[in-house]
Amino acid sequence: MADNCIFCRIIKGEIPSTKVYEDENVIAFKDINPAAPVHVLVVPKQHIDSLEALNEENIQVVAPVHKAIQEVAKITGVAEQGYRVIVNCGPGAGQTVMHLHYHVLGGVKMGEKIL
C-alpha cells in the first residue's frame, strides 16, 4: 500500500469507486473519465508502480489480473463482441497513476489500429 496512491486509497475504500468486480487479489472499477461505453480499470491490490516494476518476486500478480479481466468482460457484456486491453507504462506512454492497472475498453466497434 502506498499512502499517496489514488488506487491504493480506492482499494482501502477511502475514495469511492463504482466497483465492477473484486476478489482476493484484484479490484476492478469504472474509469472516472471513460473513453468508451465500457471502460473499466483492473488493478492488482498489491501496489506495483508500473509494468516496468514487475520482477521475479511480484510477477504472480499478473495471472489473477488476467482472470479478472475475463470476469469483467463477462460482467460488462463485452466478452463475445470483443474488447481491448491497454496498459500505459510510464509517463511517456500516458501513465498518470503510478499503480499498475489494465484498461478494459469495449462496447463500441473498434478498428484494427491502436494509434
Of positions 51, 61, 62, 97, contacts ligand 5GP by CB under 6 A: 97
Q: Measure the CA–CA gap between 106 and 85, rounded to whole angstroms.
A: 9
33 binds, among ligand 5GP, Zn ion, none (CB under 5 to 8 A by kind): ligand 5GP
Contacts of residue 113, Cβ cutoff 8 Å, sequence gap at least 6: none
Question: In this structure, are residues 87 and 66 in contact, taking their beta carbons and an 8 Å threshold?
Answer: no
* 101 has catalytic annotation: yes
Of positions 3, 24, 55, 96, contacts ligand 5GP by CB under 6 A: 96
Tell whether residue 102 is a contact of ligand 5GP (CB under 6 A). Answer: no
Of positions 1, 15, 59, 63, contacts ligand 5GP by CB under 6 A: 15
Binding site for ligand 5GP (CB under 6 A): 6, 15, 17, 29-33, 41, 88, 94-97
